[in-house]
Structure 1
Amino acid sequence: MPLTFRKSFRILPGVRLNINKKSWSVTTGGKKGPRHTHSSTGRRTTSMDLPGPFGWRRTHTARGRND
């Protein structure tokens, strides 16, 4: 099993800075309501927890960006 690196810092209430080996991202929003994540690789994700075992996620990746 390979080792991975991931660290998350709380900057302000409702704002997190997430760092891993290849990129970083900023997440805004809380547990109730939508969360928006903007990554350094150009990926933008909007997600929301729904009642029960359900969740919703929409991801958009910028074109022309090399990973």
Structure 2
Amino acid sequence: MDKPQFPVGTAFKTRGKHPRLCTVTDYHVTRNLAGEIVKAEYVATFELIGQKVKGLYPRTTVAMGVVQKAEG
């Protein structure tokens, strides 16, 4: 899973009682010394009280909440 499933600019809503509208801004991959992928997450931003907040989200969270898929 070296290549991200969702491109930068994809909008999604988080799950829970108070869902937030997030936008994918980057893709973060963590590897061990052998070069194997240990963790892959999407970096996304959302607005909270007028400020941009950055968070890490797994692929399933983005897949379940996709609102608009970016071109590309």
Per the shorter chain, which TM-score range? under 0.3
Query: Is the strand fraction higher in 1 or 2?
Result: 1
Query: Is the helix fraction higher in 1 or 2?
Result: 2
TM-score by length of 2: 0.26
Identify the structure with bigger relative contact order (alpha carbons < 8 Å, sequence gap 6+). 2
TM-score by length of 1: 0.27
